Homo-oligomer: A and B are copies of this chain.
């Protein structure tokens, strides 16, 4: 069938040119006829002038006439706020809410929900507690042993973070990389958590309607952090269990080529160490991603929030180290960091945006007016991070405790036939429960998740919440538990496993 469309003349020869003009002529004719019929009869009176309408307003809504109040329909909120206000849908957030309402306690609430759904590390709260107990009151004495520096705590501070804290954090970041790279405090922008740092970077590298490529499975919070306010789209780049969920460059390239047909791709967002899998990215992968970004002239955002939370034997390599050594264009590279994971203090709300791009830094510094950190918290952290002995001890003990918990938990899961992906970092393991699901599908996975949450009272994060393409994987955080909780968790899972297997 031959299709004739407006502007046909551009595509075809002279005949098409005539058709391409007559067709819109006819279309306009019928459009006008249609609109004419639907049009309401024109009002005979003139529209009221502004002054008239105001006197009407004064009459109709004079305060003595209370009955008119509320006669107009309810006021509407913005459509973007409406969509954010909608009830939780992701199992990740449903689980968080449920775990908060009915938290397990060995003595107080032994039938409560055991929370393996939140990446919070409580293994070293005792160390942090001891340090704060011993040092908080020193803060009152001020830096030079004199009086409290009240204007430095109560008064306005630079929104993008105290210079003292930026220096201390740059040093801490360097320590995390075992001094293999130095970080420049002037490239650090501080804000109230890594969450605003992720959002701000997305805002800065991409306009609304643009897209970022994100290898899956990825942290379920990204969907909120990035999509909600920036309007940036996330395009999943699926990784497979056969590669231990490592990024495949061919798949990345295919995703880019597929996406660019309909949307402007402005960057790749990778996590290193990965979340939810817990791998550290090999130097080779970082180089490939940087090559790819350079070739496509796009950005690389690297979320290194778990950089100092490596419990395995593989060493963490920061993208900052790779670009220092190799001849990459740095201006497209941006790092997200924070103290919530590696120092176990999410309650302090300290996030780091680290960038090599002066324009991104300039915009980000200004945007911190919306997400600044309390000066009190900042000054306490300057002291804490400057206590080199404490920090060294903390990192050593934290690593030992994480490794111990990881080993115990993974062994426990193996006892009930659940295998975890090979991993060496993060507060979680990535467990393959595909043998326990009734059907090899997202539906089957969510049924198991629901059973785990509501029957076994264990909150874990299903892979589908992380956009994992293979059903049956679950993220289980082990750093909110004590060692004594592990047998309880394993026993609960064993019961589910036995029921599931007897049914199949």
Q: Identify the A interface with B (CB < 8 A).
A: 6-10, 17-18, 20-22, 24-26, 28-29, 31-33, 35-36, 39, 50-51, 53-54, 57, 60-63, 66, 69-70, 72-75, 77-82, 84-85, 118, 120, 122, 125-126, 128-129, 132-133, 136-137, 139-140, 147-148, 150-157, 192-193, 195-196, 199, 203-208, 210, 224-225, 228-229, 249-250, 253-254, 257-258, 266, 287, 291-292, 294-295, 297-299, 326-329, 331-332, 344-349, 357, 359-360, 362-363, 366-367, 369-377, 380
Chain B residues with CB below 8 A from A7, complex form: 28, 31-32, 35
On whether A370 and B196 interact (CB within 8 A), knowing A28-B24, A344-B154, the answer reads yes
Cα-based distance from A329 to B72 in the complex (angstroms)? 9
- Do A81 and B203 touch across chains, with their CB atoms under 8 A apart? yes
Chain B residues with CB below 8 A from A369, complex form: 193, 195, 224-225
Chain B residues with CB below 8 A from A66, complex form: 326-327
SS class of chain A's interface: helix, strand, loop or mixed? helix
Cα-based distance from A215 to B160 in the complex (angstroms)? 30
Nearest chain-B residue to A293 (Cβ)?
B75
Looking at the complex, which one of B129, B266, B360, B367 makes contact with A148 (CB distance below 8 Å)? B129
Chain B residues with CB below 8 A from A376, complex form: 347-348, 374, 376-377, 380
Cα-based distance from A377 to B372 in the complex (angstroms)? 13
What is the count of identical protomers in the complex?
A: 2
Looking at the complex, which one of B57, B195, B375 makes contact with A253 (CB distance below 8 Å)? B57
* A92 smallest CB distance to B (angstroms): 13
Nearest chain-B residue to A199 (Cβ)?
B370
Interface core residue of A147, A192, A287 (most chain B CB under 10 Å): A192
Cα-based distance from A249 to B54 in the complex (angstroms)? 9
- Do A21 and B25 touch across chains, with their CB atoms under 8 A apart? yes
Chain B residues with CB below 8 A from A36, complex form: 9-10, 17
Nearest chain-B residue to A36 (Cβ)?
B10
Cα-based distance from A118 to B155 in the complex (angstroms)? 11
Looking at the complex, which one of B69, B74, B80 makes contact with A331 (CB distance below 8 Å)? B74
27 of the cross-chain contacts (CB-CB < 8 Å) are A9-B33, A10-B35, A10-B39, A24-B25, A24-B28, A50-B258, A51-B250, A63-B291, A69-B294, A72-B297, A75-B297, A75-B331, A75-B332, A75-B357, A77-B204, A80-B203, A84-B362, A85-B363, A120-B155, A137-B137, A193-B370, A193-B372, A203-B229, A225-B370, A347-B376, A374-B374, A376-B377
